[in-house]
Amino acid sequence: MIDTRLIASAAGLLLAGLLLAGCQTAAPGAPAPGVLRVLTADGEERRLDEAPAAGAPVLSDAEARQRAARYVPGATADNAPARYVALTLLTAEGDALIRARPVWVVTYEGVPFVTERCVCHGPPDRPNTAVALDAASGELVLIYGLDRARAQ
């Protein structure tokens, strides 16, 4: 015979666990997990997400690092990691400026990103600079500053 008290107790624990998990959301205005807040050259703070990119890039990682270094004064191709990702860039309101575009992101940790624009969301700089290049053509997609580099 099935003990209904045991089933009710297990169901109660499961429901409590689901409710607790649902309550652990980010603070209002905070980006979702995996989303970075970045500063773009126009002085705007944006939300950036990187997801695994499908397929193989036309541009090699070595070529991406070499091309990206051209956009960062004092940078060299060998001092920055490159990641092949699908990049999404969102406004503060959630509108997509770039949606799942396959790019190489080359990150220069310790190379400050500075913009001349007025920044309403804090100082006009970030301690790290990243360059996103189209994975097929190698054209510049975005240069941005970030507080911390994404795990490599």
- pLDDT, tens digit, 9 for 90 and up, residues 73-91: 888 878 799 999 999 999 9
For 37-41, 65-69, 134-138, which range has the lowest pLDDT when averaged over its residues? 37-41
Query: Would you state the pLDDT for residue 137?
Result: 97
Looking at residue 77, the DSSP 8-state letter turns out to be G
pLDDT band at 64 (very low <50, low <70, confident <90, very high): very high
d(CA 138, CA 62): 12
Neighbours of 128 (CB within 10 A): 19
Query: Would you state the pLDDT for residue 140?
Result: 97
Question: What does the chain come to in residues?
Answer: 152
pLDDT average, residue stretch 130-147: 94
Query: Would you state the pLDDT for residue 66?
Result: 94
Query: Would you state the pLDDT for residue 29?
Result: 39
Burial label, 31 (beta-carbon count in 10 A; 0-12, 13-18, 19+): middle
Please give the mean pLDDT across all residues of the chain.
76
- Most distant pair of Cα atoms in the chain: their distance: 75
pLDDT average, residue stretch 117-138: 79
Does residue 36 have a pLDDT over 60?
A: yes
Q: Where are the domains of the chain?
A: 31-146
Query: Would you state the pLDDT for residue 20?
Result: 31
